[in-house]
Structure 1
Amino acid sequence: MTDDDLLDDSEGAPGDEWEEIDVRDTEADRIARERDREFSQFRDQLKDAEDLKLEESVFDEATYAAIYKLVQDGHIVAFGGPISTGKEANVYEALGPEDTDVAVKIYRINASNFQQMRDYLEGDPRFEGIRGDKKSVVLTWTQKEFSNLQRARAAGVRVPEPIAVQRNVLVMELIGEEDDHAPTLHDVAIENPQTAFEVVREYMRRLYDAGLVHGDLSEYNIVVYEGELVVIDIGQAVTIHHPNAGDFLERDCENVAAFFSRLGVDVDGDSLCGYIHENADPRED
């Protein structure tokens, strides 16, 4: 069979086959290029913002892209200045949809104590098999905080409402007002310590009922906002399956009891821990 026979016997000549493939730019191609240009402009705007210049070390290209995705998805409308800065994460004010104020928590990939993060992750059945590198640990930690917030709210614990998560960026309800952040229990004069203690005790019971232990609960991460007590910094919370869950619960009870006993409440760590065990029926999943 000759080359001419190959051409003649085919359903269509090679030239016809190529003509059937539309190699022109599609609308998706044009949108992709436009998004690339928009992303570059977006990144440059953040880099040039006065409030962010001193904190640029927390941002890498992937973090800019994560924020950009959250903007594209409508979770962030405008980015504001920092609320707090820390070794592991910075928290920023932002404007959400319909003029709502939100908080944007950005974890540093090169977190200084990522090994401690890993210790809280290992033993949690929700995150088995994660790699031990910094990036994997920090990205998993961010997902863990989002998941913890969801579970705590479902259990009736007042925590910031989780809104969205993208890579190492978490968007949640802003507790407080712009430039007027909610004070912690440590920073306010408590009119009725017994009532406040009973609220915190109930939060601890509900968390345990939901199969969670906060792991770092104290007067420094419970804030007062609009007459309510709100538990914050719940990223390190572990499930009851964690090998150190019992020790973490005892530590939480000691911290909470020590604070309220100084205010005249008749409580100690052992009695608080006993109350939680006696009145909670923790979920197993």
Structure 2
Amino acid sequence: MAVTLSFDSDHETPALRDGETLPGKLAQGEYGARVGVPRILKLLERFNAPSSFFVPAVSALLHEGEVKSYVDAGHEVALHGWIHERNTQLPPEAERDLAFRAMETLENLAGTRPVGIRTPSWDFSPHTLEITRELGLKYDSSLMADDDCYEIVADGEPTGIVELPPEWIRDDLAYFTMDRFTSLRPYTPPRGVLTIWRDEFDAAYADGGIFQLTMHPHCIGHRSRIAVLTELLDHIASHQGVWFATHAQVVDHVLTEAEK
């Protein structure tokens, strides 16, 4: 089976997108780059687990050298918008412009052209698929119609774009988000999340399918949460026949198998 870990390196971009420039929110995002990313890279090296980092271009520009550190460690860098914009609320020309600017920025900083995208809103506007195809991307990781990879179909026609589906139950923010001015509050203790994710892995292992996980450095990077990820990876690594792979590697395997 394949285990494909992913990290959305949003850092300060959700706050900046909404025009929030006070130091509190920005510092909370900066934690991801300052503390979370180094912890994550060290952990992934320990388990020899190549992973996928979905990076808003503004995050990449704000934190010099971070994108290159992903590539140098053997990880994938993929698209995640310009400034974590809400792509479903943009006019088509703005969505396209930001996507192409993000592609150019990440390609320049990473030294390699991204082959996949996760939309910042985990959704498609009426124009997202067309833009994705125009960018020449192989895959998306935003839609949730299956446990394993599938091909996106539009108007009854196959598109050639592979979907590697995420899910909110396999996303750290769904459990750990905190906003003092809204109703968003953490509602599951870290060990409770570990139980959910371990059950997800065990079922995927029994099926011989994919276990996909989405995390955020400013969230999973905290001590009590990185401990949970460490314990989960210990559990995963104790199983025979597990392949740690990037999203791009999994998609390449799927495409190769489809050609046979």
Q: What's the TM-score once normalised by structure 2's chain length?
A: 0.29
Tell me: higher relative CO, structure 1 or 2? Use CA pairs within 8 A at least 6 residues apart. Answer: 2
